[in-house]
Amino acid sequence: MRAAVYLGKESIEVKDVDKPKVGDGEVLVKVESCAICGTDIRTYFHGHHAIKPPHILGHEVAGTIAETGAGVEGYKTGQKVHMVTEVGCGRCGFCRQGRHNLCPDLRAMAYYYQGGFAEYILIPKEGVMQGNLLDIPAGLSYDEATLAEPLSCCINAQEYLGITFGDMVLVIGAGPIGCFHVELARLSGATKIVLADISEERLALAKKFGVTALVNSAKEDLVGRIKEMTAGCGANVIITACPDPKAQEQALQMIAPRGRICFFGGLPGGKTITIESNIIHYKELSVFGAFASSAPQYRQALELLAGRSIKGADMITHKFPLEKIREALETARSGKGLKVIINP
């Protein structure tokens, strides 16, 4: 089969590799669409501590079941599926709660196992047993279904934030993740949603999602603008959807009393921030982290996309065949588009 094999920083080669053999309990999926995630971009350009080349990246997968191994129940050839990335041990307390993303022995697809920038992807027995292949609802294309993975991660974060009617929400970072956060905040009833980014191009693309105001934080003082918009009070909810330590520090300076902050975007390895923790104390703040997601949240994401409550099609700006993976990764990094999809 053809696969894009990541060989190290800025090195990826599309070549013939052995098609995976399907063992007992495993399922082979023919990849129809695999979207490029921020993690793929970071890994390709900067490397990833958990990924040892040669390796096949790509975890936002939608496809068709091509083959099922002996003993597999509940899945059949031809079934249209979206893949859950997180493969837990299945035995620890978190796995038993269905929170495989928090499993201490997490073995994710495209990190531990091979990924979806290839014609086929093999789902391991543990993943099959956890029900990691979800039906794509009728009317949803393979391309749109890939979005359920990043959207599910945003749903996971917003469960902690409990956004409700009347909330003023600030999202920092206007990439696909920032746009999903805007859409979810709107569905939850937020009254005002402000989106900030340092790229004018990104802000222009993000305009069509339910944003009340856009702020170019490269040109304007973001903290000052938020204070101005809220009569000095600050935002009720702030989500940092970017890998910028400054955004995390600023969040503490423009949050309202009893506000909730989510540090959604991870920081580049080793980066730290300095915060005045008394702000959390006196303002009675809640500061959350959020990482990955779990199968029930993928299901919610698929339903939101299928019901067109979230405008998935508007999020997809570029599509490339597998052979053009390098160009696709460059495009995704450039910030000239939102979601970039590979159709192997």
CB burial class (10 A; 0-12, 13-18, 19+) of residue 73? Answer: exposed
Q: For Zn ion, which residue of 87, 95, 109, 205 counts as binding (CB under 5 A)?
A: 95
Of residues 20 and 88, the one with the C-beta less far from Zn ion: 88
Of residues 89 and 267, the one with the C-beta less far from Zn ion: 89
- Here's the x/- map for Zn ion, 101-140, by CB under 5 A: it reads as --x-------------------------------------
Amino acid identity at 196? A
- Here's the x/- map for Zn ion, 167-206, by CB under 5 A: it reads as ----------------------------------------
Q: For Zn ion, which residue of 69, 88, 175, 344 counts as binding (CB under 5 A)?
A: 88
User: Which parts of the chain fold into alpha helices (H)?
Assistant: 38-46, 93-96, 125-129, 142-145, 148-161, 176-187, 200-206, 222-229, 245-253, 277-283, 295-306, 312-315, 325-334
Size of the site for Zn ion (CB under 5 A): 8
Strands annotated E in 56-183:
60-68, 80-83, 120-123, 133-135, 168-172
List all residues 6 or more positions away from 262 whose beta carbon is below 8 Å from its beta carbon.
Answer: 157, 158, 160, 161, 237, 238, 239, 240, 287, 288, 289, 290
Smallest Cα–Cα separation from 59: which of 38, 28, 80?
38
Of residues 113 and 259, the one with the C-beta less far from Zn ion: 113
**In sequence order, what are the beta bridge partners of 286?**
260
- Here's the x/- map for Zn ion, 148-167, by CB under 5 A: it reads as -xx-----------------
Least Cβ distance, residue 89 to Zn ion (angstroms)? 4
Of residues 41 and 256, the one with the C-beta less far from Zn ion: 41
Amino acid identity at 223? V
Least Cβ distance, residue 38 to Zn ion (angstroms)? 7
Site for Zn ion, residues 26 to 65, rule: CB under 5 A: 37
Q: Which residues sit at the interface with Zn ion, rule CB under 5 A?
A: 37, 88-89, 92, 95, 103, 149-150
